[in-house]
Chain A
Amino acid sequence: MKNIKKLAFGLILVLGLATGAQAASGGGIAWDKAPGKTTDLASLQNGAKIFVNYCLNCHSAAFMRYNRLTDIGLTEKQIKDNLLFTTDKVGETMKAAIDPKQAKEWFGANPPDLTLIARSRAGSGGSGADYLYTYMRTFYRDDSKTTGWNNLAFPNIAMPHVLWELQGERQPVFEEKEEHGHVVKVLKKWEQITPGTMTPLQYDQAVGDLVNYLQWMGEPAQNTRVRVGVWVLLFLGLLSFLTWRLNAAYWKDIK
Chain B
Amino acid sequence: MSDTPVDNSKRTWMIASGCAGAAGGIAAAVPFVSSMMPSERAKAAGAAVEADISGLKPGEKLTVEWRGKPVWIVRRTPEQLAALPKLDPQLADPLSLRKPGETPDYAKNGWRSRKPEIFVAVGICTHLGCSPSDKFTPGPQPSLPNDWQGGFFCPCHGSTFDMAGRVYKNVPAPDNLEVPPYMFLSDSKLLIGEDKKA
Contacts and interface: CB of A to CB of B under 8 A. Distances in A.
Contacts of A67: 40, 44
A249 B13 contact: yes
Nearest to A80: B198
Given A235-B24, A239-B21, A242-B16, A250 B10 contact: yes
A198 interface: no
B47 to A, nearest CB: 5
Contact of A242 (B9, B20, B43, B44): B20
Interface of A: 65, 67-68, 89, 91-92, 235-236, 238-239, 242-243, 245-246, 249-250
A110 to B, nearest CB: 24
Contacts of A250: 10
B47 A91 contact: yes
A15 to B, nearest CB: 40
B47 A242 contact: no
Interface of B: 9-10, 12-14, 16-17, 20-21, 23-24, 27, 40, 43-44, 47
**A-B pairs with lowest CB-CB distance, top 10:** A91-B44, A246-B13, A249-B9, A242-B17, A249-B10, A246-B17, A245-B13, A242-B16, A239-B20, A249-B13
Nearest to B14: A246
Contacts of B20: 235, 238-239, 242
B104 to A, nearest CB: 23
Given A238-B20, A239-B24, A92 B13 contact: no
Nearest to B27: A235
Contacts of A246: 10, 13-14, 16-17
Contacts of B9: 245, 249
B135 to A, nearest CB: 36
Nearest to B44: A91
A110 B9 CA distance: 68
A80 B179 CA distance: 28
Nearest to A232: B27
Contact of A92 (B10, B14, B21, B44): B44
A245 to B, nearest CB: 5
A242 B21 CA distance: 10
B13 A65 contact: no
Contacts of A68: 40
Given A239-B21, A242-B16, 19 more contacts: A65-B40, A65-B44, A67-B40, A68-B40, A89-B44, A91-B44, A92-B44, A235-B24, A236-B24, A239-B17, A239-B24, A242-B13, A242-B20, A245-B9, A245-B16, A246-B10, A246-B14, A249-B9, A250-B10
B47 A89 contact: yes
21 contacts: A67-B44, A89-B44, A89-B47, A91-B40, A91-B43, A91-B44, A92-B44, A235-B20, A235-B23, A235-B24, A238-B20, A242-B16, A242-B20, A243-B17, A245-B9, A245-B16, A246-B14, A246-B17, A249-B9, A249-B13, A250-B10
